[in-house]
Amino acid sequence: MVIVLNKDLHDSSRFLSDDPLFLFHLPLETISTSFLRENIKEREGNEGNRKHSSWTSGHSGRKFVLGALLPRTWHPARWLNTSSSAANNSFDTFFSEGSSGKYVPRALFVDLEPTVIDEVRTGSYKKLFNPKQLISGKEDAANNFARGHYTVGREVIDHCVDRVRLLADDCSNLQGFMVFNAVGGGTGSGLGSLLLERLSAEYGKTLKLGFTIFPSPKNLNRLISQTISSLTTSLRFDGSMNVDISEFQTNLVPFPRIHFMLSSYAPIISSARAHYELCSVPEITKAVFEPSRMMAKCDPSRGKYMACCLMYRGDIAPKDVNQAVRSIKTKKSVQFVDWCPTGFKCGINYQAPFAVPGGDLAKTKRAVCMISNNTAVSEVFSRIDHKFDTMFAKRAFVHWYLGEGMEEGEFSEAREDLAALEKDYEEVLQDGQQDEEY
């Protein structure tokens, strides 16, 4: 799924894959945050195993769009009316007004096989989306990156780029793109990287904010959409930080290749326990630094932070934020590289978090989402390396890739690029440790 972001002129306001080939094709101007809390033994993607069909990026992207509508007056039986959003100009960031005066998401849904897209076409929210922005092919990528990137994917890529171009032309001031993709199969990884390459060729250094999802338990889609909603709150409402997509790069990316972010969210409270849980500002601030709250499987305490943005929303007092941050700074588990002594950047948005009615997550008065650049993300790369090396040493499944037009040298080239990326993060960590010794 691709969302094209418009910047209202009147408003003040990770890509990671189980396949290193996807990382190799990732443009440098893509800022990536990952949702990879995978069970390492779960290898199937949405194309290869239909039991995961309800956990794809299309569903996460759709839930994000619906989450953006929760604060509005909207019903699935009708399109969004301008009267429900007139009070907030930044609503145009994600939605465009049609000739009939109705608002529709500036979003494109793509899949190489029709099953998931057909659920959007015929589902309860079919009147929300423009049918021309729902693209599906006739056959899937069969869990094969090469099919998504070189053969089947190329049959639909021109149509995808044409639709993105129309959405971008509709923007009065193009901010950038948000790209949602699942990497358990060949479509999200292969076609996803191909689309990013085409966007980079056509739109140069226009920023792309990537959200990559690995197959995981079904309830995680709600949590992912809640996290993304918090990350983009200031794009949709008045805010003090990250009100423009370019600020994500300014605040978080110190070097061009170091653009893989970690994100976390708190509080995570089930509806059944909502009356027993406390969610004070210090408690939720402490919680977002815990490894169990990270959306990618790694321990940030083993690495060092290069940048950290804390985005609060709801009933938040600035003095409580200052007190919570001071408390975190005293903990040795949260360490920054020597050349980034200021550390935290905090933003407050007074729009309360919304929970999906009838969902498993309880509605809370306040929440915080952290997006950070931490050297510990290299743990994810190391796991990919290990799995790739084990399989490639036996040339397992390589013939399926070669049969779709890939060359064997591309595997080695992608592996070397991933090793270089790990080395970059290692050097950042070592530089910080050497500075401390001096």
User: Using one digit for the tens of pLDDT, what is the confidence trace for 389-398?
Assistant: 999 999 999 9
Q: How far apart are CA 257 and CA 427, in angstroms?
A: 12
H or E segment and range at residue 408: helix 408-437
Condensed to tens digits (0 to 9), the pLDDT of residues 346-367 reads: 988 888 888 777 777 888 899 9
pLDDT at residue 62, rounded to an integer: 58
Lowest mean pLDDT among 129-133, 144-148, 151-155, 218-222: 218-222
Q: In sequence order, which residues have a C-beta less than 8 Å from that of residue 87 and are 6 or more positions away? A: none
**DSSP 8-class letter at 259:** -
Contacts of 201 (CB under 8 A, 6+ apart): none
Which of 14, 5, 15 minimizes the C-alpha distance to 242? 5
Model confidence pLDDT, tens digit, residues 150-198: 999 999 999 999 999 999 998 888 989 999 988 888 999 999 999 999 9
Q: 334 - beta bridge partners?
A: none
Q: Is the pLDDT of residue 40 over 60?
A: no
Tokens of 146: 């090469």
Which band of pLDDT confidence, cut at 50, 70 and 90, is reported for residue 435? Answer: low
pLDDT band at 15 (very low <50, low <70, confident <90, very high): very low
In the prediction, which pLDDT does 294 show?
A: 92
Instruction: Name the CATH architecture for the domain at 1-30+91-97+105-216.
Output: 3-Layer(aba) Sandwich (3.40)
Residue 73 has pLDDT above 70, yes or no: no
- The pLDDT value recorded for residue 33 is 62
Q: For 56-60, 294-298, 321-325, which range has the lowest pLDDT when averaged over its residues?
A: 56-60
Residue 416 has pLDDT above 80, yes or no: yes
What is the arithmetic mean of pLDDT over 73-91?
Answer: 49
Q: What is the pLDDT of residue 238?
A: 67
Q: How far apart are CA 396 and CA 391, in angstroms?
A: 5
pLDDT of residue 61: 58
pLDDT, mean of residues 66-72: 51
Q: How confident is the model at residue 371 (pLDDT cuts 50, 70, 90)?
A: very high
Residues annotated catalytic, as ranges: 247
pLDDT cut 90: percent of the chain above it: 44
- 10-24, 185-199, 254-268, range with the lowest pLDDT: 10-24
Q: Is 242 a residue whose pLDDT tops 80?
A: no
Q: What span, in angstroms and rounded, lies between the C-alpha atoms of 223 and 229?
A: 10
pLDDT of 83 > 80? The answer is: no
Amino acid 13: pLDDT: 32
To the nearest whole percent, how much of the chain has pLDDT over 70? Answer: 76
> What does the alpha-carbon distance between residue 220 and residue 398 come to, in Å, rounded to a whole number?
32
For residues 238 and 12, the answer to whether their CB atoms sit within 8 Å is: yes
Helices 154-169/192-203 angle, 10° precision: 40
Q: Summarize the confidence of residues 317-331 as an average pLDDT.
A: 91
pTM above 0.95, yes or no: no
**Which strands sit side by side in the sheet containing 305-314, from one edge to the other?**
134-136, 107-111, 2-6, 174-182, 207-213, 30-35, 260-266, 366-374, 305-314, 344-349
Q: How far is CA 136 from the centre of its chain?
A: 22
Does pLDDT of 308 surpass 50?
yes
User: 3-state class of 390 per DSSP?
Assistant: helix
What stretch of H or E contains 7?
Answer: none
